[in-house]
Structure 1
Amino acid sequence: MSTATFTLTSSATPDGSVVAPQQLVENLGGENLSPDLTWSGAPEGTRSYALTLFDPDAPTGSGFWHWIAWDLPADTTSLPLGVDRDEPGLQQAVNDFGKVGYDGPEPPAGPSHRYVFTVHALPVESLGADPEAPHVGTRFALFTQQLASASLTAHYQVKG
């Protein structure tokens, strides 16, 4: 479910742009830093937020999850560049790289991949998800409870 007034922006990686070099993994010359993110217009009843980064074009049959973070308080409307893997007050799941927190794009050579950053407005203060459990359970809780979501999509390609 989406609300027209709920928006997500980033100065580092704007919607429709190429992923900024600093967001890429080190193997691609990046710094592996999460981008700055700012959101506004969440619906009434929002008590916390979650963030996800998903590559739907990964050659896995089910995409690739780069970041799943939750339990951001309702009065939070932004995150700075380079959120730590152990950021206080922020729960972060083990991503598909097998690490806690954010890991940037690292697509194989070939077609361009889309990277979808999404903020989810939630009606609960705490999602109650276990950060050490597989992230599919956390994502299920996010997507079944969210009041609204806002996304931005950037892309990146490694030429073959």
Structure 2
Amino acid sequence: MKLTSPAFEHGQPIPSQYTCDGANHHPPLTISDVPREAQSLALVVEDPDAPMKVFTHWLIYDLPPSTQHILEQEGSLGGAEGVNDFGTRGYKGPCPPSGTHHYVFRLFALDTRLALPEGMKKEDVLAKLKGHVLATAELVGTYKRG
């Protein structure tokens, strides 16, 4: 399984329009090679360089396994959005307090739908997907405020 973005290459800077210094839209993503037996997808976007803990910027689950693109500003993705560490649902982009931070987009192909309500926390989603992961993909971007 692969996760890429037309906006930035793996390991490269995320354009500022996808951050708190820009429009704060989620970047467009492309998903390919999802296992045939997948019943749903989950996406977690985290900053492992945050000072207090691994900080969650975006959490989506129960995306259809047929999803090939997540377009910038796309409203309805066909899945459920969990609560990020800003305390809201949806995407909140990079906004590091200092230095260069890494932003890890992790995609999970699952052999089931999680069937969780909107607004779940990352810990609950990760606990529920245990034992159901068929494949994973990762895309990492960096960001440093100017």
Q: TM-score, normalised by structure 1?
A: 0.84
Structure 1: distance between partners of 2:6 and 2:77:
23
2:17 corresponds to: 22
1:95 corresponds to: 84
Structure 1: distance between partners of 2:11 and 2:77:
31
The runs of 5 or more residues in structure 1 that have no matched partner are 1-5
The runs of 5 or more residues in structure 2 that have no matched partner are none
For residue 88 of structure 1, report the CA deviation from its aligned partner: 5.7
1:56 corresponds to: 48
Number of residue pairs aligned between Structure 1 and Structure 2? 146
Aligned pair partner of 1:117 in 105, 108, 112: 105
1:129 corresponds to: 116
Distance 1:120 1:38, change over 3 A: same
For residue 44 of structure 1, report the CA deviation from its aligned partner: 3.4
Q: Secondary structure at the match of 1:155?
A: strand
Give the letter aligned to residue 92 of structure 2.
D
Distance 1:12 1:143, change over 3 A: farther
Deviations 1:12-51 (A, max 9, x none): 12211101111101xx2x1011111111112231111111
Deviations 1:96-130 (A, max 9, x none): 01110111001112x31100112110111x21223
Give the letter aligned to residue 136 of structure 1.
E
Give the letter aligned to residue 73 of structure 1.
P
1:76 corresponds to: 67
Structure 2: distance between partners of 1:143 and 1:10:
26
**Alignment RMSD (CA, Å):** 1.6
Give the letter aligned to residue 78 of structure 1.
H
Identify which range, 133-142 or 70-79, moves more after superposition.
133-142
Identify which range, 92-101 or 10-19, moves more after superposition.
10-19
Identity among equivalent pairs (%): 36
For residue 153 of structure 1, report the CA deviation from its aligned partner: 0.4
More strand by share: 2
Residues 36 and 80 of structure 1 are in contact (CA less than 8 Å); yes or no, is this contact kept in structure 2? Answer: yes
1:65 corresponds to: 56
Q: Secondary structure at the match of 2:127?
A: helix
For residue 138 of structure 1, report the CA deviation from its aligned partner: 0.9
Residues 53 and 118 of structure 1 are in contact (CA less than 8 Å); yes or no, is this contact kept in structure 2? Answer: yes
Q: TM-score, normalised by structure 2?
A: 0.91
Deviations 1:60-79 (A, max 9, x none): 1x310000101111211111
Q: Secondary structure at the match of 1:147?
A: strand
